[in-house]
């Protein structure tokens, strides 16, 4: 049977299950990626498992999110992660070495391999013919221990690209066009695979931009073929031997079909406060501007910075604009310096920051309250920037730079100079000095984990009771993100390895009274709308609410990673059999669940009652038998302990 690229990757790594959309499959994982906002929990989970050595071909830990060292907490965690990498056999990318996704692509990404990462933008590596999936930290820890990764077989969404992008448009406009068409939940339950004659006009880093923000569509991952563009990228980085061709078979088909004519693309922009709120830049041109921001995992390539540099060369940005440059890796920064682009940016008024995630995750570069910030970052959820009343727009480097020059939101096509011609360099500077290789096993056994006072042990959770009476203490609407459930930023993220402390911030963006009510109530439930838990893969958004007593969420539907994270930590994720029943569950109502164990094992339906009211509420779950066992045990860690004991 003719297979597309995604099917080939899945078939080559299939451990269990059938490749039928919706059925559970298990995949062998070749590589893992962790970063410091999620990796501390992963390393604590490896310690709890008693792991001696990771079993993957490559596992890499990056320090790219929590770089601000205003006190001891972040640097202590950096030392902990470094010691854990030495102990367990993991590559360690030091603070300031760069954003995980760009650095992994430069040094470790390999066509035909699987990559599981505790970061929702891990699918960026799909740009080079990999099956790269974001997941919760505990699933990544299990993959590092040699266990397969379980997920539901997605549908394959084939997107045929034709034509060539016009001047002043780039890869960011392509993925914004996908979001304009399909919003933030259009890719749920799907792998997006790009193909067609338009591919030959996109570099490997252009594809990285598109694959990265497939996460904003809710997709399981994004896949590109490994072709000549992939070969050029790997050869330029001294890894030509790692290249292999991976193309769809002639006659291969897709479950869903789409076509994008690149020549018809125009400059696009996502307005606050959703990546799916996309309009043409021309529609909002002229609005005032406070900040223009170039960088992040969503636009990490040499070209993205060089384009901005060429646009501002011998010109100056508007005096009222903060023009922030966030390099994605030391290698790219060094290459930009060599080629004169950093000088052009600095002379034009740019502010240069260290290589890392920085303002994308709310760690610095926060905009002024209510002032417009144009960013090449992947997300603009409320408050993610570090400013509660933010107004963040997502756009291409061309649009951000054009606006920085003029001082207002500007369609770059209206500038009075021609579009610069910029391409990825044939000989980038490859810097490996800040990548620490795993120690030999004999040395690793003698390494002790370095734990500062801010690192707390993971809490123990009880098994799921057969009967629950759960007061509903919070009800939220559609598209609630994990940034709203568990905020990021410099105020919160330093407590990522201290669950009791980070739990103090749960739902702070949405309802400042939630934590106080949860502590007073104990076991409770939350009601959600559609696409509940979109965004980041951070398992803190499930773990911290569970610590506060969350036992069940009833929502219209869920984002994939957060749904799995709830299961991993023993929180029951239910959906409404009848969407209209959403209106029946209000705060202060008490949800009564009885005979849960039998109901979960018997099928997909769960009957519930609202205390003091007549009639039953029809709810559903989407758990496999394996996940039911895990949930009844109280989560993944308890289940693993039982498996080991057996």
* pLDDT at residue 203, as a whole number: 97
Measured in whole angstroms, the distance separating CA 100 from the mean position of its chain's CA atoms is: 11
Segment 519-538 mean pLDDT: 94
CATH code for position 134? 3.30.499.10
pLDDT at 643 > cutoff 80: no
For residue 166, count other CB atoms closer than 10 A to its CB: 15
Tens digits of residue pLDDT in 472-497: 999 999 999 999 999 988 889 889 88
| 248 Cβ neighbours under 8 A, 6+ residues apart | 2, 3, 4, 5, 8, 193, 195, 225
Whether 366 and 495 map to the same domain: the answer is no
The domain boundary, picked from 372, 389, 414, lies at 414
Whether 390 and 477 map to the same domain: the answer is no
Tens digits of residue pLDDT in 541-578: 999 999 999 999 999 999 999 999 999 999 999 999 99
CB-based contact 506:514 (threshold 8 Å): yes
Percent of the chain with pLDDT over 70: 100
CB-based contact 292:401 (threshold 8 Å): yes
Whether 144 and 105 map to the same domain: the answer is yes
pLDDT at 5 > cutoff 90: yes
CB-based contact 40:80 (threshold 8 Å): yes
Helices (H), 213-317: 228-236, 281-284, 302-312
The domain boundary, picked from 371, 393, 414, lies at 414
* pLDDT at residue 90, as a whole number: 98
Residue carrying the six token digits 């252009």: 206
SS3 336: helix
DSSP states along 56-92: SSEEEEE--S----SSSHHHHHHHHHHHHHHHHT-EE
Phi and psi dihedrals of 443, rounded to 5?
-75, -40
Whether 112 and 240 map to the same domain: the answer is yes
pLDDT at 73 > cutoff 90: no
Tens digits of residue pLDDT in 300-329: 999 999 999 999 999 999 999 999 999 999
DSSP element (H, E) containing 156: strand 155-162
Asked, for residue 460, whether it belongs to a domain, the answer is no
What is the DSSP-derived secondary structure letter of residue 408?
A: B
Asked, for residue 452, whether it belongs to a domain, the answer is no
Q: Which residues of 426-458 are buried (b: 16+ CB within 10 A; e: fewer)?
A: eebbebeebbbebbeeeebeeeebbbbebbeeb
How many domains does the chain divide into? 3
CATH code for position 636? 3.20.19.10
Whether 305 and 402 map to the same domain: the answer is yes
SS3 558: strand
Percent of the chain with pLDDT over 90: 88
pLDDT band of 184, cuts 50, 70, 90:
very high
The domain boundary, picked from 347, 381, 414, lies at 414
Tens digits of residue pLDDT in 583-615: 999 998 999 999 999 999 998 899 999 999 888
* pLDDT at residue 493, as a whole number: 85
Asked, for residue 440, whether it belongs to a domain, the answer is no
Whether 251 and 312 map to the same domain: the answer is no
Q: Tell me: cis bond preceding 408? Omega within 30 of 0 counts.
A: no
- Domain span including residue 17: 5-264
Average pLDDT over the chain reads: 95
pLDDT band of 620, cuts 50, 70, 90:
very high
Asked, for residue 236, whether it belongs to a domain, the answer is yes
In sign, the C-alpha dihedral spanning 605, 610, 611, 613 is negative
Asked, for residue 35, whether it belongs to a domain, the answer is yes
Whether 84 and 146 map to the same domain: the answer is yes
* pLDDT at residue 367, as a whole number: 94
CB-based contact 155:21 (threshold 8 Å): yes
CB-based contact 268:276 (threshold 8 Å): no
Residue carrying the six token digits 């090449």: 376
pLDDT at 395 > cutoff 80: yes
Cα–Cα nearest to 365, from 338, 343, 384, 349 = 384
Radius of gyration of the chain (CA): 24
Asked, for residue 327, whether it belongs to a domain, the answer is yes
Asked, for residue 326, whether it belongs to a domain, the answer is yes
Q: Using CA atoms, how far apart are residues 550 and 322, in angstroms rounded to an integer?
A: 41
Whether 216 and 299 map to the same domain: the answer is no
Helices (H), 553-635: 560-568, 596-602, 625-633
Bigger pLDDT: 407 vs 70: 407
Whether 33 and 120 map to the same domain: the answer is yes
Whether 96 and 238 map to the same domain: the answer is yes
Whether 252 and 277 map to the same domain: the answer is no
Whether 526 and 493 map to the same domain: the answer is yes
Q: Using CA atoms, how far apart are residues 255 and 260, in angstroms rounded to an integer?
A: 17
In the chain, count of helices (H) and strands (E)? 22, 27
SS3 158: strand
Tens digits of residue pLDDT in 208-253: 999 999 999 999 999 999 999 999 999 999 999 999 999 999 999 9
DSSP element (H, E) containing 39: helix 36-49
Asked, for residue 437, whether it belongs to a domain, the answer is no
**Burial environment of residue 12 by CB neighbours within 10 A (0 to 12, 13 to 18, 19 or more):** middle
């Amino acid at each position: 049977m003719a297979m597309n690229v995604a099917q080939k990757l899945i078939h080559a790594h299939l451990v269990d299950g059938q490749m039928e959309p919706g059925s559970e499959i298990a995949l062998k994982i070749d590589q893992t990626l962790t970063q410091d906002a999620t990796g501390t929990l992963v390393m604590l989970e490896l310690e709890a498992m008693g792991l001696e050595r990771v079993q993957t071909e490559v596992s890499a830990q990056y320090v790219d999110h929590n770089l601000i060292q205003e006190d001891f907490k972040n640097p202590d965690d950096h030392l902990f992660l470094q010691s854990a990498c030495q102990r367990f056999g993991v590559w360690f990318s030091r603070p300031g070495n760069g954003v995980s996704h760009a650095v992994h692509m430069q040094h470790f990404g390999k066509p035909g391999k699987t990559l599981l990462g505790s970061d929702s933008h891990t699918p960026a590596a799909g740009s080079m013919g990999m099956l790269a999936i974001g997941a919760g930290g505990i699933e990544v820890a299990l993959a590092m221990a040699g266990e397969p990764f379980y997920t539901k077989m997605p549908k394959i969404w084939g997107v045929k690209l034709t034509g060539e992008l016009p001047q002043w448009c780039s890869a960011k406009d392509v993925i914004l066009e996908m979001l304009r068409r399909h919003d933030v939940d259009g890719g749920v339950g799907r792998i997006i695979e790009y193909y067609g004659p338009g591919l030959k006009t996109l570099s490997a880093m252009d594809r990285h931009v598109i694959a990265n923000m497939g996460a904003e569509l809710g997709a399981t991952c994004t896949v590109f073929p490994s072709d000549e563009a992939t070969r050029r990228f790997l050869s330029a980085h001294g890894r030509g031997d790692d290249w292999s061709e991976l193309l769809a078979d002639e006659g291969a088909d897709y479950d869903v079909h789409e076509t994008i004519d690149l020549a018809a693309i125009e400059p696009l922009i996502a307005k606050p406060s959703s990546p799916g709120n996309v309009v043409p830049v021309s529609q909002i041109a002229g609005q005032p501007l406070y900040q223009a921001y170039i960088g992040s995992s969503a636009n990490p390539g040499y070209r993205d910075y060089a384009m901005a540099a060429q646009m501002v060369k011998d010109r100056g940005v508007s005096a009222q604009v903060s023009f922030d440059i966030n390099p994605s890796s030391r290698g790219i920064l060094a290459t930009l310096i060599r080629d004169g682009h950093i000088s052009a940016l600095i002379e034009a008024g740019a502010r240069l920051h260290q290589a890392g995630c920085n303002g994308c995750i709310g760690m610095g570069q926060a905009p002024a309250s209510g002032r417009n910030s144009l960013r090449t970052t992947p997300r603009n959820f409320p408050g993610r920037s570090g400013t509660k009343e933010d107004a963040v727009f997502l756009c291409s480097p061309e649009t951000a730079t054009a606006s920085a020059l003029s001082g207002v939101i500007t369609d770059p096509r209206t500038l009075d100079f021609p579009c610069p011609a910029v391409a990825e360099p044939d000989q980038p500077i490859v810097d490996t000095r800040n990548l620490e290789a795993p120690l030999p096993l004999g040395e690793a056994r003698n390494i002790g984990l370095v734990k500062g006072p801010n690192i707390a042990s993971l809490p123990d959770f009880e098994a799921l009771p057969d009967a629950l009476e759960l007061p509903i203490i919070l009800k939220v609407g559609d598209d609630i993100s994990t940034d709203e459930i568990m905020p990021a930023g410099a105020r919160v993220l330093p407590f990522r390895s201290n669950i009791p402390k980070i739990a103090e911030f749960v739902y702070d963006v949405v309802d400042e009274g939630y934590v106080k009510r949860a502590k007073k109530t104990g076991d409770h439930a939350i009601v959600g709308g559609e696409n509940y838990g979109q965004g980041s893969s951070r398992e803190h958004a499930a773990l911290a609410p569970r610590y506060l007593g969350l036992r069940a969420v009833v929502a219209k539907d869920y984002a994939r990673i957060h749904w799995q994270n709830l299961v991993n930590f023993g929180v029951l994720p239910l959906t409404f059999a009848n969407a209209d029943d959403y209106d029946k569950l209000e705060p202060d109502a008490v949800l009564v669940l009885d005979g849960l164990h039998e109901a979960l094992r018997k099928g997909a339906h769960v009957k519930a009652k609202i205390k003091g009211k007549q009639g039953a509420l029809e709810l559903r779950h989407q758990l496999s038998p394996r996940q039911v066992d895990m949930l009844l045990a109280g989560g993944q860690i308890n289940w693993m302990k039982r498996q080991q004991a057996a």
